[in-house]
Amino acid sequence: MPSCSIGQAAALLGVSSETVRRWADAGRLVMDRDGSGNRVIDGASLAAFAKERGAGAHAVAEDLHTSVRNSFVGIVTSVRVDDVAAQVEIQAGPHRLVSMVTRESVEELGLDVGVTVTARVKSTNVHIDLR
């Protein structure tokens, strides 16, 4: 069964190690000891907790009809515009997203550095690397 250290769990959840310890002590995460006596978080417990914690975080507004399910709320950190196209960079928590859109879209949406946006990602190619 996969497991991870408290620090690894904290990094994955975007919180401090102390917060992970408190959640485990409160019974919200399953924590065991590895062969060296170090405290580790059960991978399945962490996955379920992360899913529960993220539920509703990126809800789709009732008036928006979309087939896209992968969304990231973030802040625009860079906008580079040329005659036709534009490159928009977004920082969504620890994730940096770069989108190529039209100049017209940037102007219509009023995209500029500091604007809060939701990036929605739909792709047939999602690559997964094992850590």
Encoded amino acid at 112, one letter:
D
Start-to-end Cα distance in the chain:
15
Q: In sequence order, what are the residues at sequence separation of 6 or more whose Cβ sits closer than 8 angstroms to the Cβ of residue 120?
A: 66, 68, 70, 71, 72
Residue 126 has, within 13 A of its CA and on its CB side, a CA count of 5
Q: Enter the DSSP assignment of 17.
A: H
Look up the pTM and report it: 0.62
pLDDT in tens, 76-112: 999 999 999 999 999 887 788 999 999 999 999 999 9
Mean pLDDT comparison of 61-65, 67-71, 73-77, 110-114, highest-scoring range: 110-114
